[in-house]
Amino acid sequence: EPEVTQTPSHQVTQMGQEVILRCVPISNHLYFYWYRQILGQKVEFLVSFYNNEISEKSEIFDDQFSVERPDGSNFTLKIRSTKLEDSAMYFCASSVGTVTTNEKLFFGSGTQLSVL
Amino acid sequence: GNSVTQMEGPVTLSEEAFLTINCTYTATGYPSLFWYVQYPGEGLQLLLKATKADDKGSNKGFEATYRKETTSFHLEKGSVQVSDSAVYFCALSDQNYGGSQGNLIFGKGTKLSVKP
């Protein structure tokens, strides 16, 4: 079965540094997402992306965050100036259709971000 | 807002034991309900779903019934195997971000360990 690929699997950074988390969604998928899970807490929606623009974003997704699909295959999440509370597992996902139409999301295995 | 609450883990069972993982939800409207599973080192995968009240989702011996009267979607399996060891996430589709794409709202996840 095709997979969503995320790199790196672990990322350690210093507070205030910029990080870019990378994802390669499944090739024929049109909708892309980032979620995160802080240790011991719920998996939280960050942002969804369709047709080269953000469709929806949560309150968590403030000006420090940005997403990009730079080359038609990669889908990146950038955190401009990391904070300690950004430490979490970040999951990328993609889907053919929308959650509204009950399409299933395919998730990557996640990037564990540790901000020191 | 919409939310999902699932039982705290970890849950440890012996092989062939009966499994129940409780999940309750709060939602406006008529969300779809999902169980996702994350095996070690992998991404979240859709296990089963139900799109309306009284629907039963099933897959790989797991079942869950959409109970509107009790706002529940408990996951059950009659006889677990070691290979079922994973983290299980209950989720609902959330269409309250003002767009048509919709997003998933997850619970915290319940870790299941099955011993031989």
Which of A37, A55, A107 lies nearest to residue B101, judging by beta carbons? Answer: A55
User: Could you report the per-residue pLDDT of B39-75, keeping only the tens digit for each?
Assistant: 988 888 999 999 889 999 999 999 999 999 999 999 9
Instruction: Report the pLDDT averaged over residues A13-39.
Output: 94
Cross-strand bridge partners of residue B19? B77
Tokens matching residue A26:
């499944």
Among residues 35-94 of chain B, which lie with CB inside 8 Å of chain A? 36, 38, 41-46, 49, 51, 89, 91, 93-94
Which of A31, A44, A56 lies nearest to residue B97, judging by beta carbons? Answer: A56
Kindly determine whether residue A109 and residue B99, on different chains, have CB atoms separated by under 8 Å. no
Q: Does B6 touch chain A (CB under 8 A)?
A: no
Looking at residue B97, what is its pLDDT?
46
Which of B44, B108, B109 lies nearest to residue A107, judging by beta carbons? Answer: B44
Looking at residue B102, what is its pLDDT?
64
Q: Does A70 touch chain B (CB under 8 A)?
A: no
Residue B40 neighbours by CB under 8 Å, 6+ apart: B85, B86
Tokens matching residue B39:
């095996």
User: Could you report the per-residue pLDDT of B8-38, keeping only the tens digit for each?
Assistant: 889 999 999 999 999 999 988 788 899 999 9
CA–CA separation, A104 and A94 (whole Å) = 9
Among residues 7-36 of chain A, which lie with CB inside 8 Å of chain B? 31, 33, 35
Residue that is written with structure tokens 């889908």 in the block: A75
Average pLDDT, chain A: 92
Residue B38 neighbours by CB under 8 Å, 6+ apart: A107, B44, B45, B86, B87, B88, B89, B109
Residue A4 · residue A107 · CB < 8 Å? yes
Radius of gyration for chain B, computed over Cα atoms and rounded to the nearest angstrom: 14
Count of CB atoms within 10 A of residue A92's CB? 29
Tokens matching residue A51:
């047709």
Q: What 3 state SS string does chain A have?
A: CCCCEEECCEEEECCCCCEEEEEECCCCCCEEEEEEECCCCCEEEEEEEECCEEEEECCCCCCCEEEECCCCCCEEEEECCCCHHHCEEEEEEEECCCHHHCCCCEECCCEEEEEC
CA–CA separation, A79 and A61 (whole Å) = 10
Kindly determine whether residue B99 and residue A56, on different chains, have CB atoms separated by under 8 Å. yes
